[in-house]
Amino acid sequence: MSVEKAEMKRAAGRAAAHMVEDGMRVGLGSGSTARAFVEALGERVREGLSITAIASSKKTAELARGAGIRVAEHDSPLDLAVDGADAIERDTLTAIKGLGGALVRERLIAQAAVSFVLIADDSKLFDRLSDSQPAVPIPVEILPFGWKLTHQRLASFGNPVLRVDARGEPFCSDNGNLILDLYGCDYGSPDDVAARIKAISGVVDHGLFLHLATVAIIASPLGISTIKVGGAR
Ligand code: 5RP
């Protein structure tokens, strides 16, 4: 990652950390931009902010605890959740998430939050989600049981590729599942595609995050901009 991109992620993380208020229950995303948020939030906690956090992955939970943030079970609604994204559509704030492999817990957290905020550098922002193709696949978390059949069913949407880890072994999510990265999906109507993918037995969840984010904090070399659903700034 370039120094400039790392600084943009830190700037987005810091801006989101300033949205957190005393006493909040806060959802923590996963990935490098979410990490920048957790680090900035940790600084605020060490300065006296009192919050309870819910982490979307084991890695984020470990990072948060290390930063001095209290991490609890996900058992009640959240005031705010902050997470990164792989692609964000400017007007709708529809997002593709899950290249970090934490999409199931990330959605459980986003859905529980009164306000779900996306943070990203400007390379993730697209006028239309389809402009992010073919670079950004839709990650789909699936059960290991019968996975080849699930793969076959997903092939009617595009080209599903089994994700592997650094050793070339099938990637295993925090939930013990596999991930298929779906390339070349024609999702003219994302709601329809999302519902049809979710309806396949064996699919646990997919990375299309629709109607969830209310705000996106986008960092560019020129600074931070805040985008609301509908494109308002
Ligand atoms: C993890 C995610 C991440 O938020 C997404 O992949 C963005 O990661 P990064 O901030 O490292 O680019 O969805 O499941």
CB 180 within 8 A of CB 161: yes
The CA radius of gyration of the chain, in Å to the nearest whole number, is: 17
- pLDDT tens digits, 107-134: 999 999 999 999 999 999 999 998 998 8
Pocket test for ligand 1, best of 1, 7, 30, 105 (most atoms within 8 A of CB): 30
Mean pLDDT of 25-49: 98
Checking if the pLDDT of 65 tops 90, the result is yes
Pairing of strands 203-206, 25-28: unpaired
Average pLDDT value for the chain:
96
pLDDT score, position 188 = 74
Would you please indicate which residues are annotated as catalytic (active-site) residues? 106
Helices (H), the chain: 3-17, 32-46, 58-66, 103-112, 147-154, 190-198
34 CA distance to ligand 1 centroid (A)? 7
pLDDT tens string 69-97: 999 999 999 999 999 999 999 999 999 99
Is this model's pTM higher than 0.85 or not?
yes
* Residue in 99, 138, 171, 177 to alter for ligand 1 test, most ligand atoms within 8 A of Cβ: 99
Q: Pick the residue whose CA is nearest to atom 5 on ligand 1.
A: 85
Query: Checking DSSP bridges between strand 95-96 and strand 87-89, what pairing results, if any?
Result: antiparallel
Sorted by sequence, the CB contacts under 8 Å of residue 87 that are 6+ apart come out as 95, 96, 124, 126, 129, 132, 136
**pLDDT digits 0-9 by tens, 179-233:** 999 999 877 788 999 999 999 999 999 999 999 999 999 999 999 999 998 766 6
Cα–Cα nearest to 101, from 166, 193, 190, 54 = 166
Residue 111: helix, strand or coil by DSSP? Answer: helix
- Give the number of other Cβ atoms within 10 Å of residue 175's Cβ: 13
The set of residues, in sequence order, having a beta carbon less than 8 Å from that of 77 and lying 6+ positions away, is 25, 112, 113, 114
Ligand 1 atom, smallest distance to 35 CA: 10
Three-class SS state of 23: coil
Taking residues 146-151, what's their average pLDDT? 98
